[in-house]
Structure 1
Amino acid sequence: MFKRIIFTGLLFGFTVLASAQYTGVVNDDSTDTPSEFKRNYDLLLSKKGIVTTDNGFSDQTVLFDDSVYIKRLHSLPTEMELVFNPAVKAQIELYAGKRKNQVSYMLGEGKYYFPIFEQVLDKEGLPLELKYLPVIESALNPVIRSRVGASGLWQFMAATGKMYDLEVNSLVDERFDPHKSTVAAVKYLKDLYAKYNDWNLVIAAYNCGPGRVDKAISRSGGQTDYWALYPYLPKETRGYVPIFIAATYIMNYFQEHNITPMNCPKPATMDSLIVNKTVHFQQISDVLNIPVDDIRKFNPQFKKDVIPGDYKGYTLNLPINNLTDFIKNEDAIYGYKKDELLPHRKVAGLDVVGGAPLGASTITYRVKRGDTLARIAGTYGVTSSQIKQWNGLSSNKLSVGRRLKIYRQQQELQTNVLADNNSALSSQSDTTVLSVSGLTRTVAVPKTTVSYYKVRRGDTWAGIAKKNKASIADIKSWNNIKSNKLIAGTSLKIQKTEYVEIQEAVKLPEPQLSVVLIDSTYTADVINNYVKNIVRDESSLPLVRISPTDGDEQQERNRMDDTKIIYHKVKIGETMTQIASRYNVSKKDIMSWNKLSSNIAKVGQRLLILLPDRQESGTSNMGDTGVKETGSKTPLTSTL
């Protein structure tokens, strides 16, 4: 009997102690649930078909005495203040009762989203319990939008999102990107904590904005305790912190309330790559046989099913097996129905008068037997509609011998023709650059730095690769790892290569080297057949010296004039033997041209290939490359 009295007294004292953690009286009647919180759950119910219990609690609802809630909240390992009061109790019992099915759903979704949140929070040193904010903000719905325009998991307004480097435009809204929006939200929370130094005030400010919290502090006479500010806060914000505490409780003690995580299947292993060309989801879907809805689910940041990679590089997220297929079929994906699915990408920038692109140069093309508008358009990187507009054609029929005007940007023409030839005039040396003008020029020299990443518990290969902006294969290669096992505490070597600009002036040897430029039609055919392998920006390439051998300078210059230079990007599964066979050269030549010490071809590596001029072959094609001879060899200009 004596023990029972002591135990009852301790429980009573514990309850009083917990209630004393806040100032001000909070009653059941003062509990205000934010309207957006209710709306988010209603949308969740209708979208997922989740059943709720509206007429009281079901038979399986399990509730506890206040003392149990107090003890459990007190036991959670967190630096955040998790008080218990009637407002918190009301929200806990709402989660455990009427909303237990939604809790089940969010526990299932959380298996996918919570690790993303935890990784960013841990990196910035913030409490991991903040991962439950999106439970309140969006019900873990990545594409939800509020009545006032707040969007995504973290419910950013457009202006706030842009302040934290989220891109918002007609095609892309990174507020819907789970990873990038989390990075922005964590930065915002960190800034709010630097201002208030109190996590309850931070959570309140996240809901209503720091301006309203500042007003509440002013009206309260300078109080900085959340519970002292409670009566002065906006009505909806008063319930926000109690809901957060209740969400933290139920996400940790769901089993005690007979709640089981719902099965919400997500791909076990995801990975990403940077897409640098504009591509439509339908192109990816049809070529790789992936449902468009799945691509949307993995990439909700793209509003119109278009990744505008021509503007800048964007991240594409796919299951790792689909990502491998994407890399293997990249050319086929970009070329598949591009005129049909991406028509507006080609006609932008047309002059109002005559439809010619501003600053473009004119090419005159004579129609040959067997030509079609689509083939000619593909050769010159334009659309059939543009050619028809430029030449006043009403149909797709072409007459043999007809001359067609084709407009191309002058800068693009020069880049396509000169990029490969310029590459041959550079040197692999860190300090030497050959220039046909003898003038000072800027050279990009690769500089590699090494850092180390310490593996944490819960890390995945995909997460580590994304965090360090590298591929899984590269990280394994740098660390000589073959298995997929990750051991917490292991340090992984990470290499990063940056290009440093160096100004150099080099005197040319006499006589000067000259480069004869091939005609525009032939160049277009080369580009069309080697579009994947040609590198248009020489600053991103290793610099290669092409020097005379054994004093026979004239013979070397003649050979260079009769040589075409391309760059081949190594694809998955390719070997040096296969590449050499494709271009009818030897492995030793490729190793010599690229100054390689090993005959192993690395995926993504760009290899310099020197091809014999078409005149040497004496035929209408060049080996098995499919580059056909068309037109006369009229130089655009005689020297660089």
Structure 2
Amino acid sequence: MALYRIVLFYVLTSLLLINPVFASGPEPPVPTLVESIRLDAKLSFCGEPVPLADGEVRERMEKELLLSLWDRDQAILWLKRSRRYLPSIEKILSEAGLPDDLKYIALAESALRPHVGSPKGAVGFWQFLPATGRRYGLTVDDQVDERRNLSASTRAAARYFTELHEKFGSWSLAATAFNMGEEGLQAEILAQQVDDFYRLYLPLESQRYLFRILSAKLILTQPEKFGFYLRDEDYYPPLRFTTVQLTTFEETSLTVVAKAAKTDFKRIKDLNPELRGHYLAAGTHTLALPADTPPGFLARFENVHQQWRQQRNERIYVVQTGDNLSTIAEKFNVPLAALLIWNRIDMNKPLYPGDRLVILPAEEKTAEP
């Protein structure tokens, strides 16, 4: 089915290129399928040659490249996001003395999306499981998940890659261990008495994994060869931000941070994807703020935070006998979901008379500094 769709795409593309009824102007040529999979025999991963002279290896490479080219919208997004995220990844890998090709693993894992997750619980740019992320120094809890932070997660990945390469002695095996786990790969090496990735029989996903990475490398390093003609303005611009160290002695709404930065909640969340929910935990945080944040953020934060605390204290409702969340929300004419956000309520835990809830009516907002 996948190959059928690829053929259909190229047929339609050919019609656009040669038939004026379909085409609105001259377009660069899109290579044929056969041209697209004529691979350079010198293809390598982290300096290790890919044995394309082996017919079985070439077939696996061609299949994965065809599947990547079929998903052309994804490949375009790879390219467009590359200038936003890859320079930071390249810098961290270089500082760690690691091969630049490892950056393509992030493309294969997450397509450079901070919030993407897997059914097994892997999250973030490098798709760390919670235990693995913590093992390499990442904070993963209910309030902060650094698997979503580009710099922190890439430094953790760099430490992991270093260990994997020391253990397995090749980057192809290190990448495969990153995908399937070092114990699983080590078990297969011992059972099969083979330590060459291209000769190992592995779970199907792991057999494909390195070829997906190589497909990403080929597309990003030679986009025109595969029919992707992007102009400079087509790429998403690099992230522009400044950082500030902020200490809070109580859990604080991120809306307070946004107001102090003269921006909105969404911008703060986008620049700090590791922050979960609507609140900043008590403690010291290094936060990314928009690059155009006016001077004086910390002073504005203290001002807005004081007003926010006062407003919360003035809007405390004491739960009465017979109350539930729905009746309280109806009484104050606020959405039930807002009650949950304001009070960090777990829907599975009952309310009791005497519990104290913050109620912020819709017509009242935190004052501007």
TM over 0.5, shorter chain: yes
Q: 1:300 to 1:341 in 2, by over 3 A?
A: farther
Residue pair 1:142, 1:178 contacting (<8 A) in 2 also: yes
Q: Which residue, 195, 219, 225 being the options, matches 2:167? A: 195
Amino acid of the residue matched to residue 255 of structure 2? Q
Tell me the residue number matched to 1:300.
Answer: 273
Determine the C-alpha separation between the residues in 2 that align with 1:324 and 1:167: 30
Helix, strand or coil: the match of 1:286? helix
Supply the RMSD in Å over aligned alpha carbons: 3.1
Q: 1:264 to 1:188 in 2, by over 3 A?
A: same
Asked if 1:337 corresponds to 2:308, the answer is: yes
Q: Deviations over 1:59-86 (max 9, x none)?
A: 1642465797432x62779513344311
Determine the C-alpha separation between the residues in 2 that align with 1:134 and 1:151: 12
Cα offset, 1:109, TM superposition = 1.2
Helix, strand or coil: the match of 2:287? strand
Residue pair 1:142, 1:176 contacting (<8 A) in 2 also: yes
Q: Deviations over 1:253-294 (max 9, x none)?
A: 112222145846456532212211154221122344422222
Residue pair 2:46, 2:171 contacting (<8 A) in 1 also: no
Residue pair 2:257, 2:301 contacting (<8 A) in 1 also: no
Determine the C-alpha separation between the residues in 2 that align with 1:140 and 1:342: 42
Determine the C-alpha separation between the residues in 2 that align with 1:129 and 1:109: 17
Q: 1:327 to 1:99 in 2, by over 3 A?
A: same
Return the structure number with greater helix share. 2
Tell me the residue number matched to 1:239.
Answer: 208
Tell me the residue number matched to 2:292.
Answer: 321
Residue pair 1:118, 1:131 contacting (<8 A) in 2 also: yes
Q: 1:211 to 1:227 in 2, by over 3 A?
A: same
Tell me the residue number matched to 2:121.
Answer: 149
Cα offset, 1:161, TM superposition = 0.7
Determine the C-alpha separation between the residues in 2 that align with 1:267 and 1:67: 30
Determine the C-alpha separation between the residues in 2 that align with 1:324 and 1:207: 44
In structure 1, stretches of 5+ residues that fail to align are 1-28, 32-51, 347-391, 395-640
Q: Deviations over 1:325-359 (max 9, x none)?
A: 5245232243241355799xx9xxxxxxxxxxxxx
Q: 1:287 to 1:257 in 2, by over 3 A?
A: same
Determine the C-alpha separation between the residues in 2 that align with 1:210 and 1:202: 8
Determine the C-alpha separation between the residues in 2 that align with 1:245 and 1:62: 19
Q: Which residue, 255, 258, 265 being the options, matches 2:227? A: 258
Helix, strand or coil: the match of 1:147? coil
Tell me the residue number matched to 1:182.
Answer: 154
Helix, strand or coil: the match of 2:134? helix
Matches within 5 A, 1:475-494: none
Helix, strand or coil: the match of 1:171? coil
Q: Deviations over 1:77-132 (max 9, x none)?
A: 95133443111112222323x22221111211111110111111001111111111
Determine the C-alpha separation between the residues in 1 that align with 2:163 and 2:207: 22
Q: 1:168 to 1:153 in 2, by over 3 A?
A: same
Q: Deviations over 1:431-468 (max 9, x none)?
A: xxxxxxxxxxxxxxxxxxxxxxxxxxxxxxxxxxxxxx
In structure 2, stretches of 5+ residues that fail to align are 14-28, 53-57, 317-353, 357-369
Residue pair 1:283, 1:336 contacting (<8 A) in 2 also: no
Amino acid of the residue matched to residue 65 of structure 2? I
Asked if 1:134 corresponds to 2:116, the answer is: no
Q: 1:210 to 1:260 in 2, by over 3 A?
A: same
Residue pair 1:280, 1:307 contacting (<8 A) in 2 also: yes
Cα offset, 1:234, TM superposition = 1.2
Determine the C-alpha separation between the residues in 2 that align with 1:109 and 1:270: 17
Helix, strand or coil: the match of 2:86? helix
Residue pair 2:262, 2:293 contacting (<8 A) in 1 also: no
Tell me the residue number matched to 2:19.
Answer: none
Number of aligned positions between the proteins: 290
Determine the C-alpha separation between the residues in 1 that align with 2:84 and 2:274: 17
Tell me the residue number matched to 1:276.
Answer: 247
Determine the C-alpha separation between the residues in 2 that align with 1:335 and 1:54: 63
Residue pair 2:83, 2:236 contacting (<8 A) in 1 also: no
Q: Which residue, 79, 82, 106 being the options, matches 1:110? A: 82
Residue pair 1:141, 1:153 contacting (<8 A) in 2 also: yes
Matches within 5 A, 1:588-607: none
Q: Which residue, 61, 74, 85 being the options, matches 1:88? A: 61
Asked if 1:74 corresponds to 2:74, the answer is: no
Residue pair 2:45, 2:171 contacting (<8 A) in 1 also: no
Asked if 1:285 corresponds to 2:258, the answer is: yes
Matches within 5 A, 1:521-536: none
Q: Deviations over 1:370-410 (max 9, x none)?
A: xxxxxxxxxxxxxxxxxxxxxx9x9xxxxxxxxxxxxxxxx
Cα offset, 1:204, TM superposition = 0.7
Determine the C-alpha separation between the residues in 1 that align with 2:208 and 2:164: 19
Amino acid of the residue matched to residue 288 of structure 2? N
Residue pair 1:170, 1:303 contacting (<8 A) in 2 also: yes
Helix, strand or coil: the match of 1:302? coil
Cα offset, 1:55, TM superposition = 4.3
Determine the C-alpha separation between the residues in 2 that align with 1:109 and 1:203: 22
Residue pair 1:272, 1:323 contacting (<8 A) in 2 also: no
Q: 1:329 to 1:235 in 2, by over 3 A?
A: same
Amino acid of the residue matched to residue 259 of structure 2? D
Residue pair 1:152, 1:177 contacting (<8 A) in 2 also: yes
Residue pair 1:280, 1:342 contacting (<8 A) in 2 also: no
Determine the C-alpha separation between the residues in 2 that align with 1:61 and 1:171: 47
Helix, strand or coil: the match of 1:322? coil
Determine the C-alpha separation between the residues in 2 that align with 1:268 and 1:146: 25
RCO higher in structure (CA 8 A, sep ≥6): 2
Amino acid of the residue matched to residue 175 of structure 2? I
Residue pair 2:258, 2:264 contacting (<8 A) in 1 also: yes
Percent sequence identity over matched residues? 23
Residue pair 2:242, 2:288 contacting (<8 A) in 1 also: yes
Helix, strand or coil: the match of 2:242? strand
Kindly name which structure, 1 or 2, has the bigger radius of gyration based on alpha carbons.
1
Matches within 5 A, 1:447-526: none
Q: 1:139 to 1:325 in 2, by over 3 A?
A: farther
Matches within 5 A, 1:335-414: 335-338=306-309
Amino acid of the residue matched to residue 286 of structure 1? K
